[in-house]
Amino acid sequence: MKRSDVGFVTLIAIVMVLASTLVYLLLEDKQMREYPFIPADSSNRFIFPQDMEKNDTLLGYLSDSGEYLLHHVGSSGKWDYEYEPSEDRNLPRYNILRHAGTTYSLALIFKYTRDPDHYNGTVRTLNYLLSHHLHFDDWSGTEVAYIEEKGLVKLGGAALAVLAVVEVEEVDPLARYERELDALGEFLLAMQHEDGSFQCFYKDMEDEHSDYYPGEALLALARLYDHTGNDRYLRSLLKGLDNYNPYFGIHYTAYTPWATEAMVYAYSWTNDTSYLDQCYQMAESCRTGQNLPGPNVPETHVGGWGSDPAANSASRVEGVVDSYLLARRTNDTERMERYDGTMEYSARFLINLQYDDVEAMSFPRPDKVKGGTPLSYNEDNIRIDYVQHAVVVMAKIMVYREVDLNI
């Protein structure tokens, strides 16, 4: 082959690569979109909840959790998914749903600490989620959007993205995610069947069920209705609760911590006492098995569940915390008193489990450890969702109880 022919073939190959790259980008719709980021150096522009007294210990817990998270988000907005503090190394796994959930939890932290660094970290991770994993699509003339990771779309991805976006929009008047939020909401509505159940996966595993995603979707619908006033979200929420409450029953499942909060919203809009009854029965199931003080119970175990109580104790108590709020709103003092002890023991357990200054000093990088929530006292790895779930429940306890807790 002549040298000129080789050059021509090389040129054709380059053109084909460029063309295929362009086609890929077009097919990927808006993936890798750039999102505006207006960093905050003060809290002046934000709209915060009405001032309330806050328990200093719980607020400090949230602040320390926020500092841990800030030490574990890269400049791109991607989290250090799982950190091994004894080796000062990040494990290579990742889960984009837990990315979204942790972004939501950092937004909650900012709402109460009002630290602009917590806001900046939230938006950096949110923009990573939306620019790398949000896909728009046209379904019969309606624009939908979903979160995709490695070719798989999970219902919970859209739900958790909604929770994060709503939390940011509610405090920042400059945040503009209307298209994303509308399309994510349309996806949730489209994934619901006539009987109120949800298709939990799209593009793959479409016949598979998940115990996690329906509850997440119902809470997202509640937050969407609260945020937008669109009645379609309320109708979808109520239809979903009618389907899933009998399906999951009253025992603690992955549905519980999401669904109880969704029912708090549903009851506030409908005054349907069936939601009270369901939450209270779920709360009693959640309380069962909590480690209480006693001669055979190690002090470190008090407030958690099981023989090796772990960070997932936060999810276990969340249904109790939501039910406490319902009892408070309906002046059910007997239930409030019953749930008080469960909440207080759980809060103490989570505070003791979180690494403080002294405990962090035993690791190679104390600055990267303080504020983290490990799996348990016997397993020191810190995964972002351990922090996420603890933050959400501690924020609820702080807000629902204000300064009443004796911790």
Query: What's the pLDDT score for residue 222?
Result: 98
pLDDT tens for 158-170 read 999 999 999 999 9
| Assigned token pair, 227 | 């945020």
Query: What's the pLDDT score for residue 231?
Result: 98
Domains with residue ranges and CATH for the chain: 49-401 (1.50.10.20)
Q: What is the mean pLDDT of the chain?
A: 92
pLDDT tens for 19-39 read 433 333 333 444 457 787 889
| Assigned token pair, 170 | 């509610």
* pTM to 2 decimal places: 0.91
Alpha-helix runs per DSSP H in 172-255: 178-190, 213-228, 231-248
Helix axes 384-401, 56-70, angle to 10 degrees: 160
| Percent residues over pLDDT 90 in the chain | 86
Query: What's the pLDDT score for residue 6?
Result: 41
Helix axes 178-190, 231-248, angle to 10 degrees: 40
Whether the pLDDT of residue 16 is over 50: the answer is: no
pLDDT tens for 317-363 read 999 999 999 999 999 999 999 999 999 999 999 999 999 999 999 99
Nearest-angstrom CA–CA distance, 238 and 211:
18
CA-closest candidate to residue 170, choices 185, 181, 159 = 181
| Assigned token pair, 67 | 């500092």
Query: What's the pLDDT score for residue 405?
Result: 62
At residue 403 the predicted structure's pLDDT band, cuts being 50, 70 and 90, is low
Nearest-angstrom CA–CA distance, 132 and 140:
25
Q: Is 86 exposed, middle or buried (0-12, 13-18, 19+ CB in 10 A)?
A: exposed
Nearest-angstrom CA–CA distance, 88 and 367:
11
Mean pLDDT of 262-284: 98
Query: What's the pLDDT score for residue 27?
Result: 38
Mean pLDDT of 15-19: 38
Nearest-angstrom CA–CA distance, 353 and 371:
10
Query: What's the pLDDT score for residue 9?
Result: 39
Whether the pLDDT of residue 125 is over 70: the answer is: yes
Cross-strand bridge partners of residue 158 = none
Query: What's the pLDDT score for residue 407?
Result: 66
